[in-house]
Amino acid sequence: MVSGTTYYYWGGVYYVVSDDQYVVVNPPPGAVVYAVPAPTTVIYANSQPYYYLDGAYYVASDKDASLPEENPEYKDKQEDSKQSDPEMVESDDYNYEVVGPPVGATVPYLPEKAEKKNINKKTYFVYEGTYYRAYASDGDTVYMVVDDPTKSGG
């Protein structure tokens, strides 16, 4: 349970129950896990390392990790279909806490479901209330987490 909501967890993916179904959700801020999914990218904001994966941000933490309850029904389906778990980064001296996106962080790709919006004649990409701006960096496009332009006047 995180912030009063019961989450289920399997293979690096979080679920909640909605209308008698399990729905995939983003990792909830405040959740603490033993390891981050292996395809995370290390990024830095304010000299702090973050582990980024499709809109989720993790930081090393000394908080106790208590994974959400595994859903046995889903686990049985996974075993029946012989699908393996996504690879996880091996555990070390830290656990990892899910945190909100840090303003100033630059990521190499946008979350899959980010939406393009034009605000005050500038282009933003928005995902789960987080605003990103595209920038060129060494010939590549990167995306920076920025303040909400609808609150700051853009």
The domain tally of the chain equals 2
- In this structure, what DSSP letter does residue 110 have? -
Q: Does the residue 2 lie in any domain? A: no
Q: Does the residue 3 lie in any domain? A: no
Q: Does the residue 45 lie in any domain? A: yes
* 26 plus 92 within the same structural domain: yes
Q: What pLDDT score does 77 carry?
A: 46
Would the pLDDT of 96 be above 60? yes
Q: What is the arithmetic mean of pLDDT over 110-135?
A: 95
* 92 plus 25 within the same structural domain: yes
Q: What pLDDT score does 7 carry?
A: 81
* 62 plus 132 within the same structural domain: no
* 65 plus 15 within the same structural domain: yes
Token pair in block for residue 149: 């332009």
* 20 plus 94 within the same structural domain: yes
Weakest mean pLDDT among 76-90, 101-115, 130-144? 76-90
pTM: predicted TM-score of the whole model, two decimal places: 0.74
Question: 10 Å Cβ neighbour count for 67?
Answer: 14
Q: What pLDDT score does 93 carry?
A: 74
* 66 plus 41 within the same structural domain: yes
* 54 plus 116 within the same structural domain: no
pLDDT band at 2 (very low <50, low <70, confident <90, very high): low
The Cα-based distances of 72 to 50, 67, 75, 77, 78 in angstroms read: 31, 14, 5, 9, 10
* 37 plus 52 within the same structural domain: yes
Q: What pLDDT score does 85 carry?
A: 47
* 117 plus 95 within the same structural domain: no
Q: What is the domain extent for residue 64?
A: 8-99
- For the chain, the farthest-separated pair of C-alpha atoms sits apart, in whole angstroms, at 53
Q: Does the residue 1 lie in any domain? A: no
* 47 plus 69 within the same structural domain: yes
Token pair in block for residue 58: 């993790």
